[in-house]
Amino acid sequence: MIGDFRTHFVREPSALRHHPALVLNADFRPLSYYPLSLWPWQEAVKAAFLDRVDIIAEYDEIVRSPSMTLKIPSVVVLKDYVKPRKRVAFTRFNLFLRDEFRCQYCGSKGDLTFDHVVPRASGGITSWENVVAACAPCNLRKGSKSLRRANMSLRKPPRQPSASELMNVGRKFPPGHLHESWMDYLYWDAVLDA
Ligand SMILES: [Zn+2]
């Protein structure tokens, strides 16, 4: 478990109902927002036994072994702080996440593809600065024209996001099921509405 624990999180909607534990870094922020850092309860119990985490909230449900009974942990915090990765990988997923799963021309959410802002035929490269999420109709409309010739504009200038920017975007997309004991740790540092 330790070693790949930064990426192996519960993602299946059905598994979200099987008592996963929210994993917090030593600073009490979730290790990851998207996907949300959730371990299967077995991993959380194991990590607690190995003294790698503290249990700070529990489910009402109990697990029993021949030698002990234990409430299933619902929130655990790592004892050792894990440094967040600084560099963001240029992947399809991260690019969609940067663009919040919206077409960067019209803002629609469905049927997303990628578009080269400066067309490849005109020397445009595949980079954070030149690729955006685009819906199929906009992609078709723009074709291999420049923005000006296509008479289209971008919602925001594309650029490489920092890890923390991407993390903040990820917070907007919580999984379908959130246990009440997770709420304090997911939103406690959110900006308060006046
Ligand atoms: Zn569009």
CA of 36 to the centre of ligand 1 (A): 28
For residues 58 and 42, membership in a common domain is answered with: yes
Distance 139 CA to ligand 1 centre (A): 7
Query: pLDDT grade, residue 182 (50/70/90)?
Result: confident
- Cα of 135 vs centre of ligand 1, distance in Å, is 4
Cα 35 to ligand 1 centre (Å): 25
Per-residue pLDDT, averaged over 143-147, amounts to 93
Residue 142 falls within a domain, yes or no? Answer: yes
CA 153–ligand 1 middle distance (angstroms): 11
Range of the domain at 22: 2-84+165-186
Contact criterion met (CB below 8 Å) for 51 and 79: yes
Q: Mean pLDDT across the chain, nearest whole number?
A: 87
Assess contact for 171 and 191: CB atoms under 8 A.
no
Would the pTM of this model clear 0.85, i.e. be above it? no
What secondary structure letter does DSSP report for 53? E
Q: What is the pLDDT of residues 5-43, one digit of tens each?
A: 555 777 776 777 789 999 999 999 998 888 889 999 999
CA atoms of 164 and 168, how far apart (whole Å) = 6
Query: What is the whole-number distance in angstroms between the Cα of residue 96 and the centre of ligand 1?
Result: 13
Q: Please report the pLDDT score of residue 190 as a whole number.
A: 57
How much distance in Å is there from the Cα of 102 to the middle of ligand 1? Answer: 8
Q: Is 66 left (phi over 0), alpha (psi -120 to 50) or beta?
A: alpha
Examine the domain organization and report whether 40 and 109 are in the same domain.
Answer: no
| pLDDT of amino acid 147 | 94
Instruction: Please check the confidence at residue 157 and state whether its pLDDT lies above 70.
Output: yes
Q: Which residue has the higher pLDDT, 178 or 108?
A: 108
Give the separation between CA 93 and CA 79, rounded to whole angstroms.
30
pLDDT at 110: 82
**Residues 186 and 174 sit within 8 Å (Cβ to Cβ):** yes
Are 74 and 169 members of one domain? Answer: yes
* Partners of 101 in beta bridges: none
Output the CA 72–ligand 1 centroid distance in Å: 45
* pLDDT at position 88: 86
Domain contains 193: no
CA of 165 to the centre of ligand 1 (A): 23
Minimum mean pLDDT range among 24-33, 111-120, 165-174:
165-174
31 in any annotated domain: yes
What is the pLDDT averaged over residues 87-93? 87
CATH number of residue 108's parent domain: 1.10.30.50
